[in-house]
Amino acid sequence: MKILYRALILLFLLLAVLLAVSNAGMVALTLWPLPFTVAAPLYLLILSVLLLGVLAGLGLGWWAARHHRRRAREHGKEAARLDREVTRLRELLAVHRPATGGRGETHAPAQRAIERQSALVAPDLMPARRGPPAP
């Protein structure tokens, strides 16, 4: 990927040099309502307009993504809150753990609540259940 990136940079630099060499003539730029006239080489004006276009595109892309960034922040806060709740419930369960049955499993309501919360937070980390679901 680095090679492709560097090759593209070299290509754009080569194009910029060719543009500068072939368009070195001076031009006068006047914007109608303003009384200013700017005299500059043509390549400098072309490159500055291209740069302004790139910056405008980046700004509009950033502005358009603001809703996604806000939603990502809200989802991150919710995930952190749920993670704290799961941790609190696990600590509570460890303190109040009832005696286990013969198979070493418990079916306490708090355990099921923790399993449901864990399934919501990270469903891919949940172990596969064996046998019928707990009542």
Query: Each residue of 26-37: pLDDT tens digit?
Result: 999 898 888 889
Mean residue pLDDT across the chain: 85
Q: Is residue 19 part of a domain?
A: yes
DSSP string, 88-135: HHHHHHHHSPPPP-TTS----HHHHHHHHHHHHH-GGGSPPP-SSPP-
Position 63 scores a pLDDT of 97
Position 121 scores a pLDDT of 75
Same domain, 59 and 29: yes
Same domain, 54 and 88: no
Q: Greater confidence, 99 or 31? A: 31
Domain that holds residue 22: 2-64
DSSP 36: -
Q: Quick one: how far is CA 122 from the chain centroid?
A: 19
Position 131 scores a pLDDT of 54
Lowest-confidence range among 71-85, 86-100, 110-124?
Answer: 110-124
Q: Are 115 and 123 in contact (CB under 8 A)?
A: no
CA distances from 75 to 39, 86, 124 (A): 53, 16, 18
Q: Are 121 and 81 in contact (CB under 8 A)?
A: no
Position 105 scores a pLDDT of 56
pLDDT confidence tier of residue 20, bands split at 50, 70 and 90: confident
- For 39, half-sphere exposure in the C-beta direction (CA atoms, 13 angstrom radius) is 2
pLDDT confidence tier of residue 78, bands split at 50, 70 and 90: very high
Same domain, 55 and 78: no
Same domain, 52 and 80: no
Taking 60 as the threshold, does the pLDDT of residue 134 lie above it? no
Q: Greater confidence, 89 or 99? A: 89
DSSP 35: -
Same domain, 44 and 90: no
Same domain, 16 and 58: yes
Q: How many domains does the chain have?
A: 2
